Structure 1
Amino acid sequence: MAGLGPGPGAAVPVWLTEDDLGCIICHGLLTCPATLPCGHSFCRGCLEGLWGARGAGRRWSCPTCRQGAAQQPRLQKNTLLQDLADKYSRAARELEADPGRAPSRVPDPGAGPALGSPSHPAQLPAAAQRSRTEVGLELAELAEQLGHIAKSLQSQRPLSEPGPESKPSILGTAFSCGMGLSLTSPKLVTSNTFEGTMRDIPHALEEIQEKLRENVMWKEVLEEQTQELLEAPSSSPGPLPDQSHPATRTASQFAQWAINPTFDLGSLSCSLEVSDDGQTVTVSRFSQPYPWSRQRFANCQVLCSQALSSGKKYWEVDTQHCSHWAVGVASWEMSRDQLLGRTRDSWCVEWKGTGQLSAWHMEKETVLGTDRPGVVGIWLDLEVEKLAYYLVADQEKLLFECAVSTSCPLHPAFWLYGLHCGNSLTLKQVKA
């Protein structure tokens, strides 16, 4: 059975970013990667260090999906991931040394897909990288159309035509070997003769060029709209994904108990940054050189400075710009190498980024549904020891409530996990 991919020696451009080959623990490129039974991979040293800090009495759980085991899994080096990480590192170094030149392909006969290509995202502007999936699909479809043309030329070449040296045959071979795509595309060749097909080629190429121009124009318009939204004042946010008329939102029923917490810089993980006004926390691209402290989280977590020990409190968190997050409360004594919702003194509601919303406490998960809240309201009634989470739209809708312990003050707590630089959570002003 013939292979579906390109022939031997053909290089297939693969778009990879550092996130694709990154470790969620150290936020760096994978080093001696080990893959757990759940399928997630991390630096072996990072895993051993994290598990060692937790102590032998705790579960050997995956930092991403929290799937655990009774005994520590045997960690073995994933040679395929290590090879890809090494190739990526070499390509990145070449780009840094000479930005105008595409990274050379490693001349290894057993090498996999080439990381260095003119379309590698390291050579593209950040705005272009954001829509590379859509652009890639569009270009793949266009390439498929060219492939149909070339194959038609091959099949319709008269027997009297020259053999492998003829231009149509060479063109068809190039596309059949280098463009092994499976997307369904419209048939652009309509003529039934070789001469007719030759006449159709300019028209087909004009259609393809027009599609490319439309794609670029659409992308530019989309980027302009995105930039306008980013530059809009924070007092007039755009519509949330789950509400059609945000302007009609009534005053919050919890407005009289609203507080204005701020992120605590002393507990801030070195993977995070806080805005000047103390209202937004963001996953930074590089580890921050914060001074060492016993109060600083090892993972992408942070507490607020405000200690809540009595009365009724309410605050809101905008989660729209974060793909993986957890928000809730924790005591100041929460272990700095533990995760929010996995300890006796922390509670949270969590969006996994895979279409599932859950509540967590003491490593017990309660699945709440598949709808992602754009803004989460957190209601803490210390008089009756109750914590509740609300979906905030035109009015508050209860998501989940549970009991909490008031043996020590509680702080608003946040977790931004995964290698997703630029993800952010913002403390919103409650509508009065």
Structure 2
Amino acid sequence: MAGLDPGPAVPVWLVEDDLGCIICQGLLATPATLPCGHSFCRECLKGLWAAGSTRPPRSCPTCRVSAPASLQLRKNTLLQELVDKYSRALREAAAQKSIPEVGRELAELVEQLVDIVRSLQSQRHLPESRPDNEGSTPSMSMSSSGGVDLSLASSKPVTSNTLERKTRDILHDLEEIQKKLQENFTWKEAFEEQPQVEVQEAPYSSSCPLPDQSHPAPKRASRFAQWAICPTFDLRSHSYSLEVSKDGRAVTVSRCPQTHLGSHERFVTCQALCSQAFSSGQQYWEVDTQHCSHWAVGVASWGMKRTQILGRTRDSYCVEWKGTSQLSAWHMVKETVLGSDRPKVVGIWLDLQEGNLAFYSVADQETLLYECPVSASSPLHPAFWLYGLNPGNSLTIRPVRV
């Protein structure tokens, strides 16, 4: 549509997660696409294969499909162009963020100019003073009758009407500019600082009085409250790109990768397990996912290979938000698409008495997302995957309402 600002030269549906390499957790650099369709940085993939840390030696780090030994890793030019466009759009967006600051500085400069012009204008109307006489000097003239006529000389300075008019015009123009700048930036900042509250209107009924908002109804306790646990992250398993909070209940993509000593127990990708392991009984816990753009939560055995992805093995199960309006469940290396609604809090119900695993979207009540049979042949740990492209992304194990 003509006249609209086209914005950054990148599709609105494209997010950083779509252009990432799960090996280095960064934007793709010289991307290479395997026959299975997954893409990685060419050098990252070559390094991973050369290290011999995958089995079979040449396989996809995501889906484990074997790659031919004769495969040549060629650059995916279309994907590289998308990465380049996305990077340019990010730089343009960063540059645009400085525009409000320039506007505020301009407003301050105009305010100073207005003060200067007003000061000059007021000084022009002050009576002139002479160094030899601070008062008014009487003037003498001869009257027609021969007498002396004494009168005070005018103390009003002689001014130019043209100069006075120009000064008024300049002051008026500056005040108009100042007003527009203040309206534009002051109002915009005030609007952005206000919390954006989504209001849902309920149908009006004269027979139903409105509820007393000063005494909101208490939140209902979870129906899983008696089985609720609050597990903590295991410090041995999480990848170098993650850091765990002091209370052990939040895991965050680090802005500076951690420098732990090398260990075969650590995941290659941004994954982590909890210390608690379950081989019997019934347990329930909840995970706050609001601060992570791409995540998976579920359970896995401690023996899950550290080069594999949660849900893509026979000893791990999860629900996953892809960051592209798709929620999926992974069970026995098979994906089931659940829909496009993103749960803000996920509840995990592990019933090893019945051999059942269920995932819930938790709001005012628990809504079932997916359930599947689960085997307890090996103890299962709460398991997590955070797509590692966005430093600050986090998952938090939150207390269950009781």
Q: Distance in 2 between matches of 1:415 and 1:406?
A: 21
Query: 1:264 aligned to 2:245?
Result: no
Q: Distance in 2 between matches of 1:83 and 1:359?
A: 31
Deviation at 1:211, TM superposition (A): 3.4
Change over 3 Å in CA distance of 1:120–1:114 after alignment to 2: closer
Q: Distance in 2 between matches of 1:88 and 1:389?
A: 34
In 1, are the aligned partners of 2:34 and 2:67 still within 8 Å (CA)?
no
Deviation at 1:313, TM superposition (A): 0.6
Change over 3 Å in CA distance of 1:379–1:81 after alignment to 2: closer
Query: 1:373 aligned to 2:343?
Result: yes
Which residue of structure 1 lines up, in the alignment, with residue 369 of structure 2?
399
**1:280-332 alpha-carbon deviations (Å, 9 max, x no partner):** 10111222111111110000000000011111111000111111000000000
What one-letter code is carried by the residue in structure 1 that aligns with 2:380?
Answer: L
Which residue of structure 2 lines up, in the alignment, with residue 26 of structure 1?
24
Deviation at 1:13, TM superposition (A): 9.1
Deviation at 1:23, TM superposition (A): 3.8
Aligned with residue 77 of structure 1, among 75, 88, 103: 75
**1:89-114 alpha-carbon deviations (Å, 9 max, x no partner):** 9xxxxxxxxxxxxxxxxxxxxxxx69
SS of structure 2 residue aligned to 1:215: helix
In 2, are the aligned partners of 1:14 and 1:115 still within 8 Å (CA)?
no
Q: Based on CA coordinates, which of the two structures has the bigger radius of gyration? A: 2
Aligned with residue 354 of structure 1, among 316, 324, 333: 324
In 2, are the aligned partners of 1:379 and 1:389 still within 8 Å (CA)?
yes
**1:162-206 alpha-carbon deviations (Å, 9 max, x no partner):** xxxxxxxxxxxxxxxxxxxxxxxxxxxxxxxxxxxxxxxx98997
Q: Distance in 1 between matches of 2:351 and 2:392?
A: 33
Deviation at 1:38, TM superposition (A): 8.8
Deviation at 1:351, TM superposition (A): 0.7
Change over 3 Å in CA distance of 1:217–1:360 after alignment to 2: same
Query: Taking structure 2 as the reference length, what is the TM-score of the superposition?
Result: 0.63
Q: Distance in 2 between matches of 1:59 and 1:114?
A: 33
Aligned residue-pair number? 304
Which residue of structure 2 lines up, in the alignment, with residue 344 of structure 1?
314
Give the CA RMSD over aligned residues. 4.5
Change over 3 Å in CA distance of 1:429–1:297 after alignment to 2: same
Which residue of structure 2 lines up, in the alignment, with residue 215 of structure 1?
188
SS of structure 1 residue aligned to 2:370: strand
Aligned with residue 352 of structure 2, among 360, 379, 382: 382
What one-letter code is carried by the residue in structure 2 that aligns with 1:60?
Answer: C
Deviation at 1:32, TM superposition (A): 3.8
Which residue of structure 1 lines up, in the alignment, with residue 296 of structure 2?
326
SS of structure 1 residue aligned to 2:53: helix
In 1, are the aligned partners of 2:360 and 2:370 still within 8 Å (CA)?
yes
In 2, are the aligned partners of 1:301 and 1:413 still within 8 Å (CA)?
yes
Counterparts of 1:48-197 in structure 2, within 5 Å, are 48-50=46-48, 53-56=53-56, 60=60, 63=62, 74-77=72-75, 121=94
Q: Distance in 1 between matches of 2:179 and 2:38?
A: 45
What one-letter code is carried by the residue in structure 1 that aligns with 2:53?
Answer: A
Aligned with residue 280 of structure 2, among 302, 310, 315: 310
Q: Distance in 2 between matches of 1:47 and 1:344?
A: 24
Structure 1 alignment gaps of length 5 or more? 1-11, 90-112, 140-201, 227-237
What one-letter code is carried by the residue in structure 2 that aligns with 1:218?
Answer: F
Structure 2 alignment gaps of length 5 or more? 1-6, 104-174, 201-212
Change over 3 Å in CA distance of 1:59–1:403 after alignment to 2: farther
**1:200-243 alpha-carbon deviations (Å, 9 max, x no partner):** xx989976874344333333x15xx59xxxxxxxxxxx99x9xx
Counterparts of 1:292-307 in structure 2, within 5 Å, are 292-307=262-277
Aligned with residue 252 of structure 1, among 222, 241, 247: 222
Query: 1:45 aligned to 2:15?
Result: no
Change over 3 Å in CA distance of 1:291–1:372 after alignment to 2: same
Change over 3 Å in CA distance of 1:306–1:75 after alignment to 2: same
Deviation at 1:398, TM superposition (A): 1.2
- Once the two structures are aligned, what percentage of the paired residues are identical? 61
Query: Taking structure 1 as the reference length, what is the TM-score of the superposition?
Result: 0.59
Deviation at 1:395, TM superposition (A): 1.5
Q: Distance in 2 between matches of 1:353 and 1:114?
A: 19
Structure with the larger helix share: 1
Q: Distance in 2 between matches of 1:359 and 1:20?
A: 19
Q: Distance in 2 between matches of 1:375 and 1:288?
A: 27
Q: Distance in 2 between matches of 1:74 and 1:209?
A: 60
Deviation at 1:67, TM superposition (A): 11
In 1, are the aligned partners of 2:22 and 2:269 still within 8 Å (CA)?
no
Deviation at 1:361, TM superposition (A): 2.0
Q: Distance in 2 between matches of 1:402 and 1:277?
A: 31
Higher relative contact order (CA 8 A, sep 6+): 2
**1:53-103 alpha-carbon deviations (Å, 9 max, x no partner):** 333388637x4xx697875864223579879999999xxxxxxxxxxxxxx
SS of structure 2 residue aligned to 1:217: helix
SS of structure 1 residue aligned to 2:338: strand
Change over 3 Å in CA distance of 1:216–1:369 after alignment to 2: same
